[in-house]
């Protein structure tokens, strides 16, 4: 029997335009907490253990891109990680300390039994096709909201650290919801070149669930997004609106997140205005990214009885200096406020103080084309917002003054190493 040459075997497995990319992220770091809420004897705060030990976690993503015509795209991504037991995941008492690369599925909590790490999941499976030179459609059973929008209005993403700075200032609008969905975008040429208009629909329960699910139902856990942007080589300005149905994931303070996740019979409407400016070449001037968002809670059955008129707001600004102390190296700084409740009508007739600030600083060292090392620091001034004195939203809303008397802050130092093939 004749033996096939390796080149012939490879041609039978992959289309000529298939590329395979592997990215491995490792994070070594630790969180530290301060404030009156910290119980040093039990190493807890707000009834939750402080995950302040030095941890070493990893995340891996394998992306396979195939094109049959040179203009279409079939993307399959496999992803794995072991962050669920770390303080850098969405764990109490400070879920806002989650990193952008933090991943594990199933997404169980720290200390939860039967929580295996290192499992591989299908993170993306979708197709993009051109309907014309100006119109493109995307659809698939495993697609993220951002995959279907024509523009990402930020350049603060060269070496992302905190997850909360990767929503263009509006985690309500750009929720990164993942599931089955479809999208369409228009990017005209000629005199209108630079303008873009996009629509995306995604349902987390598109495949069905015990709660019902499917597409276009009240239990689909769905988000619809409309985006309008104007881009030039050095700058961009983008407006967007999203309408999200239960169960809503809002990356914000515990109060804002729980009110969004617990609302029923309605929706969360979110507005965003974001953009960036970047210099023509590296130098003393940094690139500047900024964004603002506001959310309106319109649930017939709120998470806490008696609530109405709930609104939340968020913002951020990110700066990046390129080629600092070496070609390919970059220095970045960001400041902002996660989604926090700014208006609410409660039985106590008193607005809780849910504000808080976040800061991060990083320096990415590009060791080679494949390897980068990024030391980073971040600080969260009030990661629990109005729930500083209680983990129960009902108690915090009934007695806002008492909950505001306590304090909790968190800061962290870490080193992120990224290897790409």
Q: What's the pLDDT tens digit per position in 157-213?
A: 988 999 999 999 999 999 999 999 999 999 999 999 999 999 999 999 888 776 667
88: pLDDT confidence band, cut at 50, 70 and 90? Answer: very high
Q: What is the CA radius of gyration of the chain?
A: 22
pLDDT value of residue 11: 45
CA distance 201 to 183: 6
Residue 217 makes CB contacts below 8 A (sequence gap 6+) with none
Q: Where are the beta strands (DSSP E) in 187-286?
A: 195-203, 222-231, 235-244, 264-277
3-state secondary structure of 261: helix
pLDDT value of residue 4: 46
pLDDT value of residue 90: 87
List the domain boundaries for the chain.
63-420
Average pLDDT along the chain: 90
pLDDT value of residue 296: 95
Digit-coded pLDDT (tens) for 67-78: 998 899 999 999
CA distance 352 to 371: 46
Contact by Cβ (8 Å): 83, 99: yes
pLDDT value of residue 403: 52
Cα 211 to Cα 245, 246, 261, distances in angstroms: 14, 11, 15
CA distance 371 to 210: 44
23: pLDDT confidence band, cut at 50, 70 and 90? Answer: very high
pLDDT value of residue 379: 98
Question: Phi-psi region for residue 96, left (φ > 0), alpha (ψ -120 to 50) or beta?
Answer: alpha
pLDDT value of residue 407: 86
pLDDT value of residue 172: 97
3-state secondary structure of 396: helix
Residues found in the chain: 421
pLDDT value of residue 404: 54
Residue 421 makes CB contacts below 8 A (sequence gap 6+) with 21, 22, 23, 370
Nearest residue to 407 (alpha-carbon basis) of 376, 377, 378, 386? 386
pLDDT value of residue 178: 95
pLDDT at 7 over 60: no
Q: Which residue has the higher pLDDT, 120 or 116?
A: 120
Q: Residue holding tokens 């306590």? A: 406
Structural tokens at position 369: 């084309």
Beta-carbon count within 10 A of 85 CB: 18
pLDDT value of residue 353: 87
Q: What is the mean pLDDT of residues 119-146?
A: 96
CA distance 201 to 180: 8
CA distance 178 to 51: 28
Contact by Cβ (8 Å): 188, 134: yes
pLDDT at 117 over 80: no
Q: Residue holding tokens 């709660």? A: 211
Digit-coded pLDDT (tens) for 203-259: 998 887 766 678 888 888 999 999 999 999 999 999 999 999 998 889 999 999 999
Listed in sequence order, the DSSP H helices in 232-327 are: 254-262
**In CATH terms, is domain 63-420 a member of 2.40.160?**
yes
DSSP conformation letters of 106-148 = S-PPTT-TT---S--EEEEEEEEEESSSSEEEEEEEEEEGGGG
Cis peptide before 106 (omega within 30 of 0): yes
CA distance 1 to 9: 15
111: pLDDT confidence band, cut at 50, 70 and 90? Answer: low
Contact by Cβ (8 Å): 317, 274: no
Cis peptide before 421 (omega within 30 of 0): no
Contact by Cβ (8 Å): 86, 55: yes
Q: What is the mean pLDDT of residues 363-387?
A: 95
Dihedral sign, CA of 362, 368, 370, 373?
A: negative
Q: What is the mean pLDDT of residues 42-70?
A: 92
DSSP letter at 174 equals S
262: exposed, middle or buried (C-beta count within 10 Å: 0-12, 13-18, 19+)?
middle
Nearest residue to 112 (alpha-carbon basis) of 27, 23, 49, 30? 49
3-state secondary structure of 7: helix
Q: Residue holding tokens 């620091």? A: 377
pLDDT value of residue 349: 62
């Amino acid at each position: 029997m004749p033996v096939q040459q390796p080149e012939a075997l490879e041609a039978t497995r992959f289309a000529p335009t298939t590329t395979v990319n592997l990215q491995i992220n490792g994070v070594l770091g630790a969180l530290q907490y301060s404030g009156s809420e910290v119980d040093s004897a039990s190493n807890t705060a707000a009834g939750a253990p402080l995950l302040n030990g030095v941890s070493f976690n990893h995340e891996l993503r394998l992306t396979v891109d195939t094109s049959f015509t040179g203009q279409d795209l079939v993307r399959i991504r496999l992803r794995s990680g072991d962050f669920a037991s770390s303080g850098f995941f969405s764990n109490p008492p400070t879920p806002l300390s989650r990193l952008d690369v933090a991943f594990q599925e199933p997404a169980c909590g720290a200390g939860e039994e039967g929580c295996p790490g290192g499992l591989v999941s299908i993170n993306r499976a979708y197709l993009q096709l051109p309907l014309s030179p100006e119109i493109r459609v995307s659809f698939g059973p495993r697609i993220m909201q951002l995959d279907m929008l024509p523009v990402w209005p930020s350049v603060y993403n060269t070496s992302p650290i905190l997850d909360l700075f990767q929503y263009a200032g509006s985690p309500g609008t750009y929720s990164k919801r993942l599931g089955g969905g479809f999208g369409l975008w228009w990017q005209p040429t000629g005199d209108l070149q630079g303008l873009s208009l996009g629509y995306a629909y995604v349902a987390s329960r598109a495949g069905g669930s015990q709660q019902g699910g499917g597409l276009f139902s009240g239990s689909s856990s769905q988000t619809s997004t409309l985006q309008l942007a104007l881009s030039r080589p050095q700058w961009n300005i983008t407006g967007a609106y999203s309408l999200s149905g239960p169960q809503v994931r809002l990356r914000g303070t515990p109060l804002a997140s729980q009110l969004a996740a617990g609302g029923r019979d309605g929706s969360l409407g979110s507005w965003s205005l974001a953009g960036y400016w970047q210099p023509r070449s590296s130098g003393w001037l940094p690139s500047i990214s900024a964004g603002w968002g506001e959310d309106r809670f319109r649930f017939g059955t709120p998470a806490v009885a008696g609530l109405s008129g709930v609104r939340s707001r968020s913002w951020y600004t990110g700066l990046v200096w390129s080629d600092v102390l070496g070609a390919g190296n970059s220095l970045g700084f960001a400041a902002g406020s996660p989604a926090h409740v700014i208006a609410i009508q409660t039985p106590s007739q008193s607005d809780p103080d849910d504000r808080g600030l976040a800061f991060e600083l990083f320096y990415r060292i590009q060791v080679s084309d494949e390897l980068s090392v990024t030391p980073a620091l971040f600080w969260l001034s009030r990661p629990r917002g109005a729930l500083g004195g209680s983990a129960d939203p009902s108690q915090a809303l009934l007695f806002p003054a008492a909950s505001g008397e306590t304090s909790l802050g968190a800061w962290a130092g870490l080193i992120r190493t990224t290897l790409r093939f």
